[in-house]
């Protein structure tokens, strides 16, 4: 009996130590709401952007796949193109302190200025909360949310999963494709793809 009680107590302690399971939303489901603090010190609440298309872009400035799209200017071009049409674009950094890609607000502001990046805001997510809500796996990984708050695209930026800048020109850009179709009132033909890049460096990541 004593052994049973001890085991029960240990089991309860383990349960209390494990964070609650987060069921990440999928394409066709409502986008999980979140509040995030950006590098500009402002707080952004996803629900405030209901009625607009929203792009979530997971970022790691040390990842060669991310660098491919920034050093070529491809990501900045997308940001400027779509924000000019009223799309809200959040760059999200879910790298934990001590992990590749982690930056503080000053570091991110310096980086964006250097690269000419133009998202609506860069959200700092060192605890990985937003990343886990969306099961973000790689950098870059792209998610698009429609004005009704539903996820309409989740996956890779394009169909060329390489580090080679030369592959960008001939690639099918899934973000462009999905936004053009959705803004035209058409269904998104390719709504989910396998994301490629570096793994998101969450707290406790080993690689």
Q: pLDDT tens for residues 73-131?
A: 999 999 999 999 999 999 999 999 999 999 999 999 999 999 999 999 999 999 999 99
Phi, psi at 134, each rounded to 5°: -105, 5
- Three-state secondary-structure class, residue 161: coil
**Which phi-psi region, left, alpha or beta, contains residue 49 (left: φ > 0; alpha: ψ -120 to 50)?**
alpha
Q: What is the largest CA-CA distance in the chain?
A: 70
Q: What is the pLDDT of residues 157-192, one digit of tens each?
A: 999 999 999 999 999 999 999 999 999 999 999 999
For β-strands 121-124 and 151-155, DSSP reports them as unpaired
- Three-state secondary-structure class, residue 145: strand
């Amino acid at each position: 009996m004593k052994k049973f009680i001890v085991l029960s107590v240990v089991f309860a302690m383990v349960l209390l130590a494990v964070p609650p399971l987060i069921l990440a939303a999928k394409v066709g489901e409502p986008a999980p709401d979140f509040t995030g603090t950006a590098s500009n010190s402002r707080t952004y609440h996803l629900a405030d952007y209901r009625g607009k298309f929203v792009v979530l872009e997971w970022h790691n400035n040390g990842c060669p796949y991310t660098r491919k799209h920034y050093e070529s200017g491809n990501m900045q071009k997308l940001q400027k193109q779509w924000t000019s049409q009223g799309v809200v674009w959040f760059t999200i950094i879910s790298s934990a302190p001590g992990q590749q890609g982690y930056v503080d607000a000053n570091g991110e502001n310096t980086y964006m200025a250097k690269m000419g990046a133009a998202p609506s805001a860069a959200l700092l997510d060192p605890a990985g909360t937003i990343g886990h809500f969306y099961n973000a796996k790689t950098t870059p990984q792209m998610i698009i949310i429609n004005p009704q708050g539903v996820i309409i695209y989740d996956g890779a930026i394009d169909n060329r999963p390489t580090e080679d800048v030369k592959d960008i020109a001939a690639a099918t850009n899934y973000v462009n494709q999905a936004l053009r179709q959705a803004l035209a009132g058409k269904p998104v033909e390719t709504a989910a793809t396998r994301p490629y890049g570096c793994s998101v460096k969450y707290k406790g990541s080993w690689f």
